[in-house]
Every structure is written in structure tokens, then in C-alpha cells.
Amino acid sequence: MNSKLKQNSVGIVKPETIEINETLRLDCGKLLDSFELIYETYGSLNSEKSNAILICHALSGDHHAAGYHHKDDKKPGWWDSCIGPGKPFDTNKFFVVSLNNLGGCRGSSGPNSTDKKTGKEFGPDFPIVTVNDWVNSQKLLGDYLGINCWACVVGGSLGGMQALQWAISYPEKIKNSIIVAAAAKLSAQNIAFNEVARQAIITDPDFHDGRYNDHGVIPKRGLSIARMLGHITYLSDDSMRQKFGRDLREGKLHFGYDVDFQVESYLRYQAQAFVERFDANTYLLMTKALDYFDPAADFNGDLSLAFEKTDSRFLVVSFTSDWRFSSSKSHEIVKSLVRARKNVSYAEIEANQGHDAFLMPIPDYLKVLSNFMENVG
């Protein structure tokens, strides 16, 4: 652990796992009789249990949002820039809960866990879960922790969709919602990117219809390509130009199909690292959850009607260079909230990091979050 970070870090954290023995009826029609969720908490819950913040992760995120697991960890949790003493989600004031979502591959029930009915790994048979299912499972986690109402539910990208769904599904159980770099539904272009990623995985000869673990292999090539494609869409043209330009890795062209340019080397490295930590079935499931998200569908396509029952305050944030979930998608959310006459603020942060900006410590962004959080609780 970097000693410089120590003073405003939550420090060493330890995940907990709970087994929830309550039947969860999923949107796909299937029932989950029991399931496990792994989560971390930072800060302490006050006696009124009114200071809890729920952190919702994006496609490849997990429960480890802040702090370190071991003192020699090189990197802290994925949103350490925002969670900790004196940070926007101030652990001196708030009790922060971060979980790995159902269907994940980092400790919560998902394709990698054992199906109690068969005694075998779920693999591809783990049901496809939706954002709505996640929110329902998160509500049960809240019940377990004794949290009847969240002071704030927050997330970026797919996490922002969960924060949005919370206000719709449990309007009385959420006081504030922060929706960062998200969308009320995906566009055809978004779905197309996800489909290419899925095809890369499914057509990998090592995929074996999702039973790759039984064959002692993993669909590395497919998952790598899916990640490379995803990664390109998370960056902006500008940020890639700044980071790599057309720099050559070895200073000369090779006139072959191995790595010539730095950007190729970077993508391969990122893909390799991803394959080692992520599961292909989970990746497929997460992209489907993204594609299916459309809360307005239950309200005749009118998102503002979906917000009718909530008294939550909202903060919507987008980034200028994000083209995966562009500002126009955030506008759609803001417009619906305004039409429903909800308390909503919207900031469009100047940033050249593309969609990934939501994970970065951009001063204006952190300040917007802090300013909003000042009026929470």
C-alpha cells in the first residue's frame, strides 16, 4: 500500500459474503431459491441507519471499490478516488456498501458458482439477470444490513442504470440518486458493440457452449477480443492520440502482423490482464443486462412516468468526450426527470478520457459529487 495514500484511504478492507435464503423471482421468469453476495463496507452505520450509500458497479467492476486487501497491494479498489475520508463519498460521515452483483465472477453467485440442485457449476445455465433483478437483490442485501432507506445510491455506466432503477423500483427506499455516464436505454450502436463482443466469445473454439471449465480451458481469444473492442469504446479518439499517437513499440515497422504500434501492445496487455481475472459467461450476461435495460418500457415508453412516485434528489453527470454513453443519453434522463418535476441537477464535465472518465479523479467531477453530497443526510 502506498503510504502517501494512506491518510485519505479507507485502509485495509475485508470482503464479507452473505447467503440470502429468500426466493428471488427474476425477470426471465426463473427463480433463485438462495444466492450469495460478496460485499465490502467502509465507514460506520449510524444508529438511525440513515447514512448508508450503495455503490453499484459497472460491467467489469466488483465489490472492491476502495482501500486495499493487502498491505502490499499495488492498486486500491476501483473507485478509491471517490470513497474515503474527506472524499466525495466521505467515510467519516457515511457508511458505504459496495457489492459484486449477482451473475458476477468475483464472489457473488454467478456462472462460476455451484448449482445446489445439481451439485455442478452453473456455467451457461446461470439465468440471465437484469438491472431490475440486481436492484431487487441489492434491496435484500440492504434488509440484511438493516438499511431500510439508502441516503444515496450511486453508480457509473451500468452502475448508473442501477441507481436509476432504484428510484423507480423502490421510490420510498432511496433519498438521493447519482447517475454518472449512463443511459436510460442503449442505442442500436451500443447493442451492436455488445453483440460483436458476445460473438467473439461464443465463436471461440474453446467456448464449448459455455462449459469451458469442464474442458479445462477458457475462451481466451474471444474474451480478449471482446475486451479490446470494449476498451476502444471506453476511450476517446483524443485520449488515444495523446496516449499512443502512432508511436511504434520498437521504433520500426515489421511488415508483419505482430505488434507494430504502441496502441496494439496496450490493447493486448489489457486483454491479457482481463482474461486472467474475468469470466466469459459473466461477460456475456453483463452485456445482456445492458442491452435489456429499458425502464420506460413498463410506462408506455415515457420515462418521466417511471419517476412519478419518487421523491429522490438526482444528480446526473456526463463527460464531453464520452461517445459510448454520450451526453445526449444523460440529457434524455434529465429531461424525463424535469418533466416529472423532480429535483435534478446535471453537469457535463469537460474531459477527454471518454467513457472511462467516470473512473478518473477529474477535479470538476469530484467537486460536483462533493457539492451534491453536502446536501445529503
Partner 1 sequence: MERKDFKFISEWIQKDSTVLDLGCGDSTLLDFLRTNKNVSGYGFEKDIDKVQQSINKNISVIQADFNSGLGQYFDQNFFDYAVMTQALQENKNPDKIILEMLRIAKEGIVTFPNMGYWKNRLQLGLFGKMPISNSLPNNWFDTPNIHLCTFKDFEGLCEDLNITILDKKVLNSNYNSDNLLNFLPNFFGEIALYRFKKS
Which residues of the shown chain bind partner 1 in the complex (CB under 8 A)?
313, 315, 331, 334-335, 338-339, 341, 343-350, 364, 367-368, 371-372, 374-375
Give me 134's grid cell: 440486481
113 a catalytic residue? no
| Of residues 158 and 316, the one with the C-beta less far from partner 1 | 316
Q: CA–CA separation, 265 vs 270, rounded Å? A: 9
Marked catalytic residue, from 231, 322, 327, 356: 322
Taking the CA atoms of residue 115, residue 120, residue 122 and residue 124 in that order, the dihedral angle to the nearest 10 degrees is -150
Give me 316's grid cell: 446526473
Residue (of 185, 177, 192, 130) closest to 297 by Cα position? 185
**Nearest distance in Å: CB 321, partner 1:** 15
**Nearest distance in Å: CB 350, partner 1:** 7
Residue (of 50, 333, 311) closest to 167 by Cα position? 311
**Nearest distance in Å: CB 319, partner 1:** 12
> Is there a contact between 280 and 222 (Cβ–Cβ < 8 Å)?
yes
Q: Tell me which DSSP letter residue 304 carries.
A: H
| Of residues 172 and 374, the one with the C-beta less far from partner 1 | 374
Give me 239's grid cell: 485520449
| Of residues 272 and 328, the one with the C-beta less far from partner 1 | 328
**Nearest distance in Å: CB 343, partner 1:** 5
Marked catalytic residue, from 98, 113, 157, 336: 157
| Of residues 6 and 341, the one with the C-beta less far from partner 1 | 341
Q: CA–CA separation, 202 vs 209, rounded Å? A: 7
64 a catalytic residue? no
| Of residues 73 and 332, the one with the C-beta less far from partner 1 | 332
355 a catalytic residue? yes
Q: CA–CA separation, 318 vs 252, rounded Å? A: 39
Q: CA–CA separation, 85 vs 90, rounded Å? A: 5
**Nearest distance in Å: CB 348, partner 1:** 5
Catalytic residues: 157, 322, 355
